[in-house]
Structure 1
Amino acid sequence: MELFSIAAQTSTPQEAEHYKRLVSEANQVLHTKYKSLDISCTIHEDMMLWRCREDDPRFFKGNQLQQVYDTAAKTLAEYILQEKEQQLVEKILEDDFDFPDPEEHEQILKHCRMILENNPELSESWNRRSDMLVQSIKQCLSERPLLHVDGFLTFRSRTYIKELREIVEYAVDEFLMDRQYEEFVGMLKYFVYFQQPQVPLVHVIHKGGQDLQLLDEDLNPLEYRYDEGVVVERLDQQDLQMEDAVVTTLISVSPAKIVIHTREPQMAVIRTLTQIFEQRIEICRYCPDCHAYFRETGKI
């Protein structure tokens, strides 16, 4: 009796070799557990056919068949995640979204790859998608032991494809937000470039995270300005009102020089200020003006 017959169409020699290796490893596992299985993997042009037979009636008395299906399903899930998933994501992007610019298209796919990669930080997403595929494949094999991988992905993996579509939608949103941010920063840079300095110096004390404090040249606190004539708006999903107020105030007072006192120059808020005010920015990691503050807060 044929336990399963699985056809997979590979698109490159590298993909075919990878699939063949995964199947070979699975076959070794199955042969170790069940010596009487007749397992083969044959290649016809770009189609690979993985077959498994068992003619001993005693094999079907326990749960061995489900264990065989489990091994086959895990092998196929790994193959799909590693070889087919990127193709599926690209097709979703092409079919459901309008980004004809190749550079924009590639940037969105880059966001997708970062989410889809199997790394420790995102392993929960990877494992969830793998479980979806394993359960669906086992269900298909239990109903009918003939399975074509591409047909399965088209007609029998709706939950998995829905998750991929949500990932693409998230990547598109991230891309649009990044583009908005770059356009917004560019507008502010242009505004600042043509603005005449009104005060010689402003100190920015970076307390940590998004928390900033503005001081004048005499180290007295500056009053925050919410100038309605300057468009400063949130461009992400977090509350950055402090950052908005700082940018608005700095643009309003237009200092010739801005000294940012920070122990975390890599933070996004520092990069934003540096992008907007460019040559007017000086980063200070240690000086007498900020030494006392950072010593009190334990940042030195």
Structure 2
Amino acid sequence: MIEIIFQKKQDAWNFYHHLVARLASLQEKNSILLNEDRNRVQIPGDFYLKGTLFELKQCVYEFILKVKREEWLRNILAESYFYTESEEQDQILDIIYSVMEGNRKDLAPFMEVDEEQGIIKNLINEILDERVSFSFDSFVMFRLKTYFEQLSKWVEVAIDEYKMEQEYQVFLHTLRSFLKDRKPQMPYLYLVIDENMAFFNQRFTEMKRSELFKTIDRRLLVNHPVYVDSGTIAPLLSIAPQIIYLYTDDAQQPLVRTIINLFEERVQINSISAFEEEKLNFLNEDHENIR
């Protein structure tokens, strides 16, 4: 009989029921026991003899990832960074989970989530291969120290991203308010974003940088010097076209997403090749009209 000892009754209860559910097909009735008075989960030695050690290790691994990891992350947020509101914690954890799911490749190099599985499984192998009773909390404190350092790093990166996203939302709200009160200076314009970026007027004539600079409302550069660049966002907000025909082959790049978030339904997106085709059609029609 091997005992896994817990400091908290709730942890012992959660771990016991996790094992029973996960190993139901491998154990005889009541073969895994819960000593509630002493916060101990008792595992028969048969789990080693019957070749089910792998399943037992997998159970401990899943318990850490599915039950304890989020609790630990929330504790780090509350105790080290004073994020105690559950809503804020949820938003920060969503950033971490999005990296784990492969949806935030920009943050992946800073979090190294791929190492998590190897770190935990190796440590679980070490403790269970010893085939001795042990304290789960001591295991966490001493053997999982490196893992906790990794969790703290994840939280730090996610908090930085969370703050940037909050600032970005404030930036969007402020500039949308500016745009709401701005009278359109043009009914529409064409914006091509490729390796370079170019503005075109209604006659598909490229608007020079000097021309664009003259359109800029100086309040934008004075009030929002960090967020508003004079080459793209400032001219667009100042011209405030009713429609922006935006052509790009990468609709997910940050600049394109920002323009969409600012102008919303006023933006119509298409490919670079579509711009070339429309420009050619316009020039051919214009040439015919002149003839």
Q: Is the 8 A contact 2:77 2:84 kept in 1?
A: no
Q: How far off its partner does 1:198 sit?
A: 3.0
Distance 1:263 1:92, change over 3 A: same
Distance 1:125 1:72, change over 3 A: farther
CA-to-partner distance for each residue in 1:67-116, whole Å, 9 max, x for gaps?
98766444312221122111111111111112344422221122233345
Can you give the 5+ residue segments of structure 1 that lack an aligned partner in the other structure? Answer: 32-38, 55-63, 236-240, 296-300
Other structure's SS at 2:206 match: coil
2:156 aligned with 1:169, yes or no? yes
- For 1:245-264, what aligned pairs fall within 5 Å after superposition? 245-262=231-248
Q: Find the aligned partners of 2:279 and 2:54 in 1 and give their Cα distance.
A: 58
| 1:113 alignment partner AA | Y
Q: How far off its partner does 1:176 sit?
A: 0.9
Q: How far off its partner does 1:128 sit?
A: 2.5
- For 1:1-300, what aligned pairs fall within 5 Å after superposition? 4-7=2-5, 10-11=10-11, 16-24=16-24, 40-45=31-36, 47=39, 49-53=41-45, 72-116=56-100, 128-140=115-127, 145-207=132-194, 212-224=197-209, 230=221, 231=224, 233=226, 245-262=231-248, 268-278=254-264, 281-283=266-268, 285=270, 290=275, 292=277
Q: Is the 8 A contact 1:78 1:130 kept in 2?
A: no
Other structure's SS at 2:258 match: helix
- Residue 298 of structure 1: aligned partner: none
Other structure's SS at 2:231 match: helix
Distance 1:126 1:20, change over 3 A: farther
CA-to-partner distance for each residue in 1:18-72, whole Å, 9 max, x for gaps?
32233556x66xx9xxxxxxx9420133945233448xxxxxxxxx99x987664
- Residue 288 of structure 2: aligned partner: none
Distance 1:141 1:289, change over 3 A: closer
Q: Find the aligned partners of 2:56 and 2:114 in 1 and give their Cα distance.
A: 17
| 1:96 alignment partner AA | S
Distance 1:43 1:115, change over 3 A: farther
Q: Find the aligned partners of 1:199 and 1:89 in 2 and give their Cα distance.
A: 50
The number of aligned residues is 261
Q: Find the aligned partners of 2:205 and 2:90 in 1 and give their Cα distance.
A: 48
Q: Find the aligned partners of 2:102 and 2:207 in 1 and give their Cα distance.
A: 47
Distance 1:130 1:257, change over 3 A: closer
Other structure's SS at 1:203 match: strand
Can you give the 5+ residue segments of structure 2 that lack an aligned partner in the other structure? Answer: 281-291
| 1:197 alignment partner AA | P
Other structure's SS at 2:116 match: helix
* Greater share of residues in strand: 1
Distance 1:106 1:40, change over 3 A: same
Q: How far off its partner does 1:192 sit?
A: 2.0
- Residue 35 of structure 1: aligned partner: none
- Identity among equivalent positions (%) equals 21
Other structure's SS at 1:221 match: coil
Q: Find the aligned partners of 1:289 and 1:125 in 2 and give their Cα distance.
A: 40
Distance 1:24 1:254, change over 3 A: closer
